[in-house]
Structure 1
Amino acid sequence: MRVFLLLTVLLFGLNSNAQKKIDCSLQTKEYQEFLSIKNFEEAFGPWEFVAKNCPTQSESLYLEGVKIIQYKIDNAKNEEEKETSVRQLMKLYDQYHKNFPNSIEDYEVYKAMALFDNSIDSKDEVFQLLDNGINSSLNKVTSGNAIFNYFKLLTEKNKNGDKSVTNDKVIEKFTLLNNRIVTLNETNPAEKETYVAASRAINAIADNFLTCDVLTEYYEKKLAQNQENAAWLEASLNVMYEKCAATPIFLTLAEKYYALKVSAQSANYFATALLKNRKFDEAKKYFLESANLEKNTSSKATKYYTLATGIYSNDKPKAKEFLLKSIEFNPKLGKAYLFLAQLYANSASDCAKTDFEKKAVYYLATQTVKKASVADEVLKTNVAMFVNDFSKESLSESDISNAKMNGKTMTIGCWINEKITFPSK
């Protein structure tokens, strides 16, 4: 008899679960049909049934649920009804994390932003959720707005005398948050504008508080325990890069980071520190190494262009070499042609022995600058201006004909070392 009862219970349970799955499939189909025509109101009932009875069915249940509940929030009749729906959305994030923990590790950040984005006045709760989420899952956070608001609330607590938010904690978080934004900038280029805006906003808040003196004191104090920690050194250098690269501590951090990890970034930090400390020859070496090690072709082109127009601008052969490399890695970098054309024009007197040769250099400069607008149409106005200026000093059709150079090729020596083929009559 007991065996019969047990079998009956088991069969009833199996049938019940099977029935639930069938019902959930039907209800899922129903709410998704409503969603396809943007009828969020009618979608809510069947969606809620599935969320209650089949919470592990699929992740789309939660992604679609966010849209449905957000519709309820946006169309709430009053503040009380709105907050109720926001709280429901927060519970949905809890449920999402419970059933799919690897997909939404930073669920507390989502909960915080549900409160913030929907203007629920709960500043302390928002901060606590952001603090928990960012402390546990910063490497999963992708919201630039969440990062900014966390830092804003953190600094407010510091200013208001909250003893749990010390100056050291503000610097520590600033370092981590800045580093996270740099990473997001590199990995999510489609959202670059958002991350740049978040970075500027954070830096604007920190500008008065995080002076070079304050940062120097902090990093000198923390260096001993972190001098073998490449991630910490990288994050610290990123914080100090804009306004404190000339400080001795920046040079120390850069040297240690480079010793631990040779990369385009570490070489760039080290080169910048050396340059700020007027060690020009050493700086050149590491700037060049940074460009050579860079894997992103667009960044590589930019680094070669910077070398040509900055530290090597007085070394014309080298400047030309790096400009051509920048064009090689980014053919659309029209400004490289502009700079190269100016280098040619500025060397007309030095590299020409005759008046014809001098004009030929300007002719080459004119042909070179025209390539800039082909590479980048935005430069058309600048190109027109340079063409106008260079053409005044360049060879005319009669100059070429009188010299019997139509259809012939001429070599310009000196550091320019280029050939010009003149058009036929």
Structure 2
Amino acid sequence: MKSKVILTLTGLLFSFSLFAQNCGANLSLFSESAKVKNYDNAYTHYKKIIEVCPKESLVTYQYGAKMFEHFIENAETEEDKVKYVEKFIENQNMRLEHFPNKTKKAKVLSDIAKVKYKNKIGTLEERLEAFEAIVEEDADNFVDPVALYAYFRIANTLNDNGERDIQFLFDKYDEVIGLIETQENKKATQVQPLIEKEQNQEDLTSREKKIMKNSEIYLRNYNKIKGSVNSLLGSKADCENLIPMYNKDFEAKKGDVQWLKNAASRLFAKECTDDPIFFKVVEAQNDLKPSAKTALYLGRLAQKNGNMSKALDYYNQSAELEDKPADKARVYYNIAETYKNKGSFSSARSYYRKALSQKPSMGVVYLRIAEMYAKSANNCGNTTFEKRGVYWLAADYANRAGRVDPSLKSTASATAESYRGRAPQKSDIFQEGMAGKTISYSCWIGESVKVPNF
């Protein structure tokens, strides 16, 4: 009896060893074939791996995705294409199932949504649902610029086809722009300390350089996608279309807080604030449910009427009530602009910085601070050299604008170059013996600048 047990255990161990060897062999053969893009041969081994040992290696699904993308691209019939799309989706779902800790859910869902979109799998509504699943399941990691654009494009097509109304499109626009701005802020937050380190003439590590490069690539791509999304929306959101639409629906909707909120937001975003419908919508919304938005809109109306004190009160009230970082940043920016136009530069900078704390990718803020510094050059510093040194600070801030917001790159570069042209030149630095020294400013600027060491 004892001998039979030993023989049985030995057999099991042998079978397990053989099983493990077969898995390893198939994985090796699959990987080698996939590396050289011999996908027909790779597929033979892939099928054995996912049937017998699907948890063997993440490589199975990484190469598997590339393999099925190849098959989809080269499918000779629509039937084959659909079959391989289904296999691709199955591959991605298995990766998520067997390697959840090494797989971002949003990445997998984005891959699935994009392959359906690109190959026109299912109805438009079904393709839309694939992208909506990303938002529902893992919105924080919805980072793919191409997927974000495809998501809005489907919504726009549904509206063009008359299958969804204009409010649906506006809602999707707000959602997609919000997702893009969330990712922009993450990337801008990553690069902000590195930009400061670089401008302080400190060397970046190789890792920091890689972070800087990748973040700036993403920021450029997000900027392009925002432009494309805005182009798709186009004239659908212009005042000439919004004003008659909201005028027509106002009487029926004036007791609907959500409708009033959406209408006011859209009219404000498109600068349709001169038309009486804007005031009617805001007033009705404020009567039903005062909010950060109504305070902001009332502040804008007070400012247009020349009552700056009242406008600032409304703006500050709005900032306190607002809970969305991007919207709070816009309120702070409005307050800063008001102070700047009054010549209260210190107060303006305080609110500009508050705006940046909420939305680090708001590059225009850096340009505004640079402008105020440049205008203060004659009032800061004890010597002509020190006064002109303020322009280095202004140039630094202008440069930051283009780093966090690629749409401002050319403007920021030209502005920074202009400021540097007004700062002390190489001969001035040599003559004053200031190379590498630090100038501190005790005026409202309250910062220091390191003189270039040529």
Give TM-score scaled by structure 2 length.
0.56
* Equivalent residues of 2:85, 2:116 under 8 A apart: yes
- With CA pairs under 8 Å and 6+ residues apart, which has the higher RCO, 1 or 2? 2
Asked if 1:138 is matched to 2:135, the reply is yes
Change (3 A) 1:84 1:364: same
* Equivalent residues of 1:337, 1:371 under 8 A apart: yes
Change (3 A) 1:300 1:222: closer
* Equivalent residues of 2:124, 2:158 under 8 A apart: no
Change (3 A) 1:283 1:153: same
User: Aligned residue for 2:391?
Assistant: 369
User: Aligned residue for 1:70?
Assistant: 69
Asked if 1:319 is matched to 2:349, the reply is no
Change (3 A) 1:134 1:84: closer
Q: Secondary structure at the match of 1:70?
A: helix
Match of residue 382, structure 1, among 413, 418, 428: 418
The letter for the 2-side match of 1:381 is: E
CA-CA distance at 1:223 after TM superposition: 8.4
Change (3 A) 1:148 1:236: farther
Q: Deviations for 1:262-304, whole angstroms, at most 9, x for unmatched residues?
A: xxxx58x844651244253244346568889999x99999998
CA-CA distance at 1:319 after TM superposition: 0.9
Structure 1 spans left out of the alignment, 5+ residues: 260-265, 349-358, 389-396, 398-410, 419-425
* Equivalent residues of 2:392, 2:419 under 8 A apart: yes
Structure 2 spans left out of the alignment, 5+ residues: 189-214, 400-412, 425-430, 432-440, 448-454
The letter for the 1-side match of 2:61 is: Y
* Equivalent residues of 2:159, 2:165 under 8 A apart: yes
* Equivalent residues of 1:116, 1:126 under 8 A apart: no
CA distance, structure 1, for counterparts of residue 123 and residue 10 of structure 2: 47
User: Aligned residue for 1:111?
Assistant: 112
Q: Deviations for 1:195-244, whole angstroms, at most 9, x for unmatched residues?
A: 333333333333333443346777997786766x9xx96x8876555205
With 194-203 and 282-291 compared, the bigger mean Cα shift is at 282-291
CA distance, structure 1, for counterparts of residue 254 and residue 22 of structure 2: 61
CA distance, structure 2, for counterparts of residue 327 and residue 145 of structure 1: 32
User: Aligned residue for 1:149?
Assistant: 150
CA distance, structure 2, for counterparts of residue 40 and residue 241 of structure 1: 57
CA distance, structure 1, for counterparts of residue 104 and residue 445 of structure 2: 58
Q: Deviations for 1:132-170, whole angstroms, at most 9, x for unmatched residues?
A: 2234442435244334334333333433344xx234433
User: Aligned residue for 1:197?
Assistant: 224
Change (3 A) 1:387 1:217: farther
* Equivalent residues of 1:62, 1:92 under 8 A apart: yes
CA distance, structure 2, for counterparts of residue 220 and residue 64 of structure 1: 59
The number of residues matched between the two structures is 356
Give TM-score scaled by structure 1 length.
0.59
Q: Secondary structure at the match of 1:208?
A: helix
* Equivalent residues of 1:97, 1:107 under 8 A apart: yes
The letter for the 2-side match of 1:198 is: I
CA distance, structure 2, for counterparts of residue 375 and residue 217 of structure 1: 47
CA distance, structure 2, for counterparts of residue 300 and residue 361 of structure 1: 40
* Equivalent residues of 1:341, 1:365 under 8 A apart: no
CA distance, structure 2, for counterparts of residue 242 and residue 77 of structure 1: 46
Question: After superposition, where does 1:49-64 map in structure 2 within 5 Å?
Answer: 49-57=48-56, 60-64=59-63
User: Aligned residue for 1:356?
Assistant: none
User: Aligned residue for 1:23?
Assistant: 22
Question: After superposition, where does 1:375-414 map in structure 2 within 5 Å?
Answer: 378=413, 379-384=415-420, 386=422
Match of residue 207, structure 1, among 223, 230, 234: 234
CA distance, structure 2, for counterparts of residue 182 and residue 416 of structure 1: 30
Greater Rg by CA: 1
Superposition CA RMSD, Å? 5.6
